Amino acid sequence: MTQTLSLRRPDDMHLHLRDGAILQGILPETTRHFARAIIMPNLVPPVVTAAEATAYRDRILAALPEGAAFEPLMTLYLTEETDPDDVATAAASGLVKAVKLYPAGATTNSASGVRDFDKVRAVLDRMAEIGLPLCVHGEVTTASVDIFDREAVFIDTVLDPLRRRTPGLRVVMEHITTRDGVAYARAQGDDLAATITTHHLIINRNHILVGGIKPHYYCLPVAKREEHRLALRAAATSGEARFFLGTDSAPHVDALKEHACGCAGCFTATNTLPLLAHVFEEEGRLDRLEGFTSLHGAAFYRLPLTEARLTLEKRDAPFTPPAKIHTGAGPVTVFDPGFSVFWHVRD
């Protein structure tokens, strides 16, 4: 028997589109299913000013497939030279929906990130004043801290002190990966939210390392122990408005993933919705999927809900996405969950 589920067209509150040939090739994978997305600014060079965000948005819009209804929600990359007035002007115009904090060296294209937090206090104070969210890549980069502990240490040594010094600052903890992140988010008020990725609901660190290194499961923040994955699943399916979808879908061509020093990122734009339906069904929480994908994020970002809808359909035959998306820069491998998925997005 066919089972169906109708949702408001989802929002992806953490998305990498890159630029140039990769952007051209992978953008249709998001616009097929998503109405809007918070676009990450970690290009080379990064998107730091309102003028750069405008130019990047124009490149995204120019690359949209014919007939696509998709709104890129732009962000600025926080640096120690960011101008508070430029940020405020960009927010007032409606162009920019958030500012992204990368600790320097934390992940792909983060070399321009923040080292001295005192140098960004004026920007953070202005953001608190105008209600503009700060999106946080929540990991320390101190060499002495184990990579599996970097999120928990960041919460204690950076995030909590930063929020105490900047009352009223609205914060999104992006791509949380630990039960520590879940617990911290739950203990805060409504000025803090957290995104959870598709892949962190499905893989733990064994998927990366057991039986040989699997580069297409390597991401940052890195997948953690099984106990953390289960905590994320419980949070995502809880119905709590503080948790919502941010795929962190991060395309890299295979030549850069399958490499002696491979890039971090899982590309999930193509199959996120069938995978999420599978996860929420396993947890007995299909009724909460729309909140996670389409309601909670819009509420936190103070956006109107999308009116368009789509239908998920469970069929007898499995959903089989393409193994790779071919772009002008090279092939990008689609995330493989390692199990059969029977949910499809109805054409």
For the segment 15-47, what is each residue's pLDDT rounded down to a tens digit? 999 999 999 999 999 999 999 999 999 999 999
User: At 50, which amino acid appears?
Assistant: A
Order across the sheet with 192-196: list the strands.
11-15, 36-39, 71-77, 96-101, 134-137, 171-174, 192-196, 243-245
Residues of the chain with pLDDT > 70, as a percent, come to 97
Distance from C-alpha of 322 to C-alpha of 66, rounded to nearest angstrom: 21
Average pLDDT over residues 235-244: 98
Cis link prior to 304 (omega < 30° from 0)? no
- Alpha helices per DSSP H over the chain: 20-31, 50-62, 84-92, 121-130, 150-154, 160-165, 179-186, 205-209, 226-236, 254-257, 272-282, 289-290, 296-300
Look at the chain and report how many structural domains it folds into. 1
| pLDDT tens column, 141-190 | 889 999 999 999 999 999 999 999 999 999 999 999 999 999 999 999 99
Beta bridge partners of 101: 136
End-to-end CA distance of the chain: 18
pLDDT of residue 149: 97
Torsion angle, CA of 305/311/314/316, rounded to 10 degrees? -160
CB atoms within 10 A of CB 309: 12
| pLDDT tens column, 71-123 | 999 999 999 999 999 999 999 999 999 999 988 766 665 567 788 888 999 99
Beta-carbon contacts of residue 41 (< 8 Å; ≥ 6 apart): 47, 48, 53, 56, 74, 75, 76, 77, 100
Question: Exactly one of 11, 12, 180, 248 is catalytic; which is it?
Answer: 248
CB atoms within 10 A of CB 227: 10
CA distances from 178 to 56, 208, 224 (A): 33, 17, 7
The DSSP output letter for 114 is B
Q: Is 190 a catalytic residue?
A: no
Residue 214's domain comprises 3-345
CB atoms within 10 A of CB 303: 16
Residue 115: φ, ψ to 5°: -110, -40
Domain harbouring 38, CATH code: 3.20.20.140
The β-bridge relationship of strands 96-101 and 71-77 is: parallel
pLDDT band at 2 (very low <50, low <70, confident <90, very high): low
